[in-house]
Structure formats: C-alpha cells, structure tokens
Chain A
C-alpha cells in the first residue's frame, strides 16, 4: 500500500514566522511530488511541484525533496494569516495504478496575527 504520512497538526505559527510542513512517502520509485493548499470549505489548489532532490523556491514558498530519505517538505516564509489552510502532500504513483496522485491526510496550518 503506497502511503503518504503527514502530521495532521494543527501547526500554529505567529505572523511573519517560517512555517515548516513535512511529509514522508512510502514509494521509493516515486518521481513527482506536490503540495496542494486547501482552504476550509474549498477545493485543493496546487501550489508547488518538485521532481529532483534539493530545493525549489517560488516566492515565499520553498519545497525541499530528499529521495534517499523519502522526505519532502514545504517552507512558508513570512507567514501570513491568509496562509491558514490545510496543506496536502501528494506523490505520483507510477506503479500498478499508473499515473495517479496519492495524497496524505493534510496538515492544518494556523497563522496567528
């Protein structure tokens, strides 16, 4: 069973701090990793994708991937109250269910003003 593990939170950080969200995955053959943001009552929205080891930066967001440790993280710099949401980690499963996204349960982030 291919799985994604995330701390469900809630993770609470003060405004302006760095929020660090972590995720581990079970499928060593996975090549593609994604972070989705889901506001309460809304649909998931893709915010970051990462395919190779190292860091990928996009504005205030940095995704980090370590395939050897099967670990992916999302850093949010200068956190804002508008970043309060549930963050879903996902990887692309190229195995038996070829080409489908496998999601974690999500980490709820709360940014306090």
Chain B
C-alpha cells in the first residue's frame, strides 16, 4: 500500500460537470496539500491543510473547492472547469506544516473537454 493514494488516476470531464478528486495518506501525517502540475510550468501549490484546517489558499479560483474531513483524507471538488484547468493534480502530505519532506501521491491526470 503506497503512502499517499489518489483516485481516480485519470479523469475526463466536461465543462459543466461536477467531479471530485480524492486523496488518502497512510503515513500518520498532519499536513496535506494540493498541487497543480501543467506542462512546461512549475508545480503550483493550490491549498494547504494543517490538522484539518486550511492554512493556505494560493489564489485558486472558486471552481476548485477543497475539503479535509480529517488528517488522512483530502478532496478537491471540481465544477464548471475550463480547458486550461487540464493538468496533473498532485496530493502531498508531510508530518506537519511547515513540512520539510513532502510525500506525493501518483496524481490525477485531469482533462477538461
């Protein structure tokens, strides 16, 4: 069982759809993160949760809505996305925030059509 698990691995959705990405970590960490990785761009931090509390919203559009019900689970709810939102969405966790070593999940490859 990997440390950080993301589902689904691939997702194709229309611009009017609503979908959710799920992340689960089995490392006993207290901080979880959502990152966006687009082609030819650096990894962009989207959200940070520390002990279930959101500590960072990096100017992310409201069509992305995170949810952290407990320290082990993190969701990213998606609605009315745009084609430019197509990217690899990576979840990560660390022991605490600020965290030195972040462990990443395998990512969800999202395509918006």
Contact = CB atoms under 8 A, between A and B. Distances in A.
Interface stretch (B13-21, B36-44, B68-76, B77-85): B36-44
Interface in A71-113: 88, 90, 92, 94, 97-106
Interface of B, helix, strand, loop or mixed by DSSP: loop
A70 interface: no
Residue from the set B43, B58, B105, B106 with the largest chain A CB neighbour count within 10 Å: B43
B100 A49 contact: yes
Given A97-B56, A100-B56, A105-B40, A46 B45 contact: no
B102 A46 contact: yes
A77 to B, nearest CB: 23
A32 interface: yes
Contacts of B105: 43
The range of chain A's interface size is 20 to 34
Interface residues of B, number: 21
B90 to A, nearest CB: 6
A45 B98 contact: no
A51 to B, nearest CB: 9
A92 B42 contact: no
Contacts of A97: 45, 56, 58
Given A43-B107, A44-B104, A88-B43, A100 B90 contact: no
A4 B106 contact: no
Interface of B: 4, 40-43, 45, 48, 56, 58, 90, 97-107
